[in-house]
């Protein structure tokens, strides 16, 4: 998956003493677009020597340190252009693509919290932690992480696949997915989302793996296996989904291969390989 960058590691600890050197990368976002270069197929970002000004330390990946330019005004830097964050699902090298989506998560959070939501005062960065603090009322604001589920519902040798309605570019099938709501356990999210999207009861929930999904602005996906409980007739919620179908393992085998990016893809491939 996109976060699997070993032997490298994304060290996310905030370092209040970190100061940019000329060769450190600076992530410069304008909305959902990031200033980058993809010449020769290798993703690169402008450095502090290109960008200058006030920047905030983000994280390091191996020897590479990343800072954030906390302004949405587009910059012009020779050899770099603004590209949509969706590009970084598949960009190489993988560790820089993962840095880009994690940077997007943090840039979104910083941008959304320039003012205290309680009293409206401009926030300030905490001196030690990755936290914004209101100097007037003391409110503490931590990065937003949104738990959500990816659910692979199986029925013997078949897997339930769905296709989203009203989502441009969603031509591929996916698994049931949705965000956890207030006052709900993750297991309850699994049951509710499956019932809402396809009208099925499920049993025998088994946790698989999780995946940070910065492209959505802060999702944390948790993958679950489960089996249909009782009737297997699908009733698709056409507001959210265009289609839902039980697909035999053999049909999936011809279409799906491990793309090394998403939890959804990995779970479908594991099912094909008979591991679920
Ligand atoms: Zn406040």
**pLDDT attached to residue 170:** 52
Pairing type for strands 33-36 and 25-30 reads antiparallel
**pLDDT attached to residue 167:** 63
Centroid of ligand 1 to alpha carbon of 126 (angstroms): 14
Q: 146 with 227: CB under 8 angstroms?
A: no
Is the predicted pLDDT of residue 227 greater than 70, yes or no? yes
Centroid of ligand 1 to alpha carbon of 111 (angstroms): 16
Confidence of residue 39 (pLDDT cuts 50, 70, 90): confident
Domain encompassing residue 134: 115-143
Specify the 3-state DSSP secondary structure of 64. Answer: strand
| CATH number assigned to the domain comprising residue 193 | 3.90.79.10
Centroid of ligand 1 to alpha carbon of 72 (angstroms): 23
Statement to judge: residues 129 and 98 lie in one domain: no
Centroid of ligand 1 to alpha carbon of 218 (angstroms): 23
Is the predicted pLDDT of residue 169 greater than 60, yes or no? no
Centroid of ligand 1 to alpha carbon of 120 (angstroms): 6
**For range 246-258, the mean pLDDT:** 90
Centroid of ligand 1 to alpha carbon of 115 (angstroms): 8
Statement to judge: residues 34 and 87 lie in one domain: yes
Centroid of ligand 1 to alpha carbon of 139 (angstroms): 5
Residue 233 inside a domain? The answer is yes
Statement to judge: residues 72 and 24 lie in one domain: yes
Statement to judge: residues 79 and 172 lie in one domain: no
Residue 3 inside a domain? The answer is no
**pLDDT attached to residue 72:** 86
Compare 80 and 256 and report the one with higher pLDDT: 80
Confidence of residue 171 (pLDDT cuts 50, 70, 90): low
Compare 160 and 256 and report the one with higher pLDDT: 160
**Whole-prediction pTM:** 0.90
Centroid of ligand 1 to alpha carbon of 110 (angstroms): 15
**For range 133-156, the mean pLDDT:** 97
- Count of domains in the chain? 3
Centroid of ligand 1 to alpha carbon of 35 (angstroms): 32
Centroid of ligand 1 to alpha carbon of 197 (angstroms): 39
Q: How far is CA 177 from CA 19, 48, 108, 125, 221, in A?
A: 40, 39, 22, 34, 9
Q: 85 with 104: CB under 8 angstroms?
A: yes
Residue 25 inside a domain? The answer is yes
Q: Is 175 exposed, middle or buried (0-12, 13-18, 19+ CB in 10 A)?
A: buried
């Amino acid at each position: 998956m996109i976060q699997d960058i070993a032997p490298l590691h994304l060290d996310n600890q905030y370092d209040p003493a970190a100061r940019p050197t000329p060769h450190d990368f600076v992530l410069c976002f304008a909305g959902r677009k990031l200033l980058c270069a993809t010449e020769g197929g290798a993703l690169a970002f402008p450095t502090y020597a290109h960008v200058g000004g006030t920047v905030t330390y983000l994280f390091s990946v191996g020897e590479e340190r990343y800072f954030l330019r906390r302004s949405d005004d587009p910059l012009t830097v020779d050899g770099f252009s603004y590209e949509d964050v969706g590009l970084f699902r598949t960009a190489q090298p993988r560790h820089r693509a993962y840095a880009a989506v994690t940077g997007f998560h943090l840039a979104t959070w910083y941008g959304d919290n320039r003012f205290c939501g309680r009293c409206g005062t401009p926030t300030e960065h905490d001196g030690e932690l990755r936290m914004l603090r209101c100097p007037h009322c003391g409110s503490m604001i931590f990065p937003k992480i949104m738990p959500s589920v990816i659910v692979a519902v199986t029925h013997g040798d078949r897997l339930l696949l769905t296709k989203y309605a009203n989502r441009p570019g969603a031509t591929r099938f996916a698994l049931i997915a949705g965000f956890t709501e207030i006052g709900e356990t993750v297991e309850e999210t699994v049951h509710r989302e499956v019932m809402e999207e396809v009208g099925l009861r499920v049993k025998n929930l088994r946790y698989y793996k999780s995946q940070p999904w910065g492209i959505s602005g802060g999702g944390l996906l948790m993958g679950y296996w489960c089996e249909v409980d009782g009737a297997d007739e699908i009733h698709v919620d056409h507001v959210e989904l265009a289609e839902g179908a039980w697909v035999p393992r053999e049909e999936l085998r011809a279409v799906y291969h491990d793309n090394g990016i998403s939890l959804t893809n990995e779970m479908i491939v594991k099912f094909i390989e008979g591991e679920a």
